[in-house]
């Protein structure tokens, strides 16, 4: 099998904590909407292969450079001199992305036994996932 590449345009959203109310547990709407968007992008780009083997996932999270930054600072960010740290955390972004692809790209995200995540500044925000057999 060759690698599958999925590109998700837009700002990355981290998986929110479960909410509790009226004696039940639920997922907040921001997380639900983000996961639905990731699922839709994956279906549009790769269909529904539902892989059933150990997998490696390379994830690149592109963060938009703040408009308020000077040209010099902006260029340093785009060159990679400034690292993209901050919220949301990369682990929460990966949780949202991997959970969203359950039943679409793979049976369950427990199949992912190798995960490499890079967050950087870019002109346009988004997430790029490359999925391949481990």
Task: Write down the pLDDT at residue 101.
Answer: 96
Which CATH fold topology does 4-14+27-133 show?
60s Ribosomal Protein L30; Chain: A; (3.30.1330)
**Pairing assessment for the beta strands 24-26 and 55-64 based on DSSP bridges:** unpaired
- pLDDT tier, 26 (very low <50, low <70, confident <90, very high otherwise): confident
Is this model's pTM higher than 0.85 or not?
Answer: yes
pLDDT tens per residue, range 76-120? 999 999 999 888 899 999 999 999 999 999 999 999 999 999 999
Written as six digits, the tokens of 43 are 């279906």
pLDDT tens per residue, range 31-70? 999 999 999 999 999 988 889 999 999 999 999 999 999 9
Please check whether residue 116 is in contact with residue 58, taking contact to mean a CB–CB distance below 8 angstroms.
Answer: yes
């Amino acid at each position: 099998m060759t690698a599958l590449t999925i590109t998700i345009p837009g700002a990355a959203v981290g998986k929110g904590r479960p909410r509790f109310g009226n004696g039940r547990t639920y997922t907040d709407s921001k997380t639900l909407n983000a996961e639905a968007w990731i699922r839709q992008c994956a279906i549009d780009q790769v269909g529904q292969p539902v892989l059933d083997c150990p997998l490696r996932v390379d994830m690149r999270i592109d963060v938009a450079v703040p408009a308020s930054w000077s040209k010099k600072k902006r260029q340093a960010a785009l060159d990679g001199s400034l690292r993209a740290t901050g919220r949301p955390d990369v682990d929460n972004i990966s949780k949202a992305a991997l959970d969203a692809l359950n039943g679409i790209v793979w049976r369950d995200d427990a199949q992912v036994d190798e995960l490499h995540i890079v967050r950087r500044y870019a002109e346009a925000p988004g997430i790029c996932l490359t999925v391949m057999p481990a």
